[in-house]
Amino acid sequence: METYNQYTFEPMNVILAKNLVGKQFAGKYIEVKEKSDLIGFKEGDKKIPFYQVKEFKGKDLIGIKYEQLLPYVLPYENAENAFRVISGDFVTTEDGTGIVHTAPTFGADDAMVAKQAVP
């Protein structure tokens, strides 16, 4: 999705499970059918537009790198393997976004999928 951050109003790209879009974007956001309809948005507008750019299968995202969300926290080891999409069978589309952050140091499931994903 292309949209705007609800706090900073800066443009952003978002990836989330298709069947959770309505849940995540309920209330403050409104879907637009044309990318050009994103352009007129400004802080203070009642609804924040979002536009679906493309659809992917989850398996198609495995291995891609993403922007670090908290730049003041750096990985201790294996920095080249950090900030990339890996697979985990505990991720569902029941709640949330269909994508989860893993922290191998802080959970057994996270540690297991991280260890399996190391080339």
pLDDT of 107: 81
> Residue 25 pLDDT > 80, yes or no?
yes
Residues spanned by the domain of 6: 2-50
Does one domain contain both 39 and 64?
A: no
Which percentage of the chain shows pLDDT scores above 90? 29
- If you average pLDDT over every residue of the chain, what do you get? 84
Does one domain contain both 42 and 63?
A: no
Does one domain contain both 72 and 118?
A: yes
Does one domain contain both 12 and 35?
A: yes
Does one domain contain both 66 and 44?
A: no
Distance from first CA to last CA of the chain, Å, rounded? 30
- How many domains would you assign to the chain? 2
Mean pLDDT of 56-75: 79
Cβ contact 4:11 at 8 Å: yes
Sequence-ordered list of residues with C-beta below 8 angstroms from that of 51, at least 6 positions apart, any chain? 1, 2, 3, 31, 32, 33, 34, 35, 37, 38
Mean pLDDT of 19-35: 89
Does one domain contain both 15 and 64?
A: no
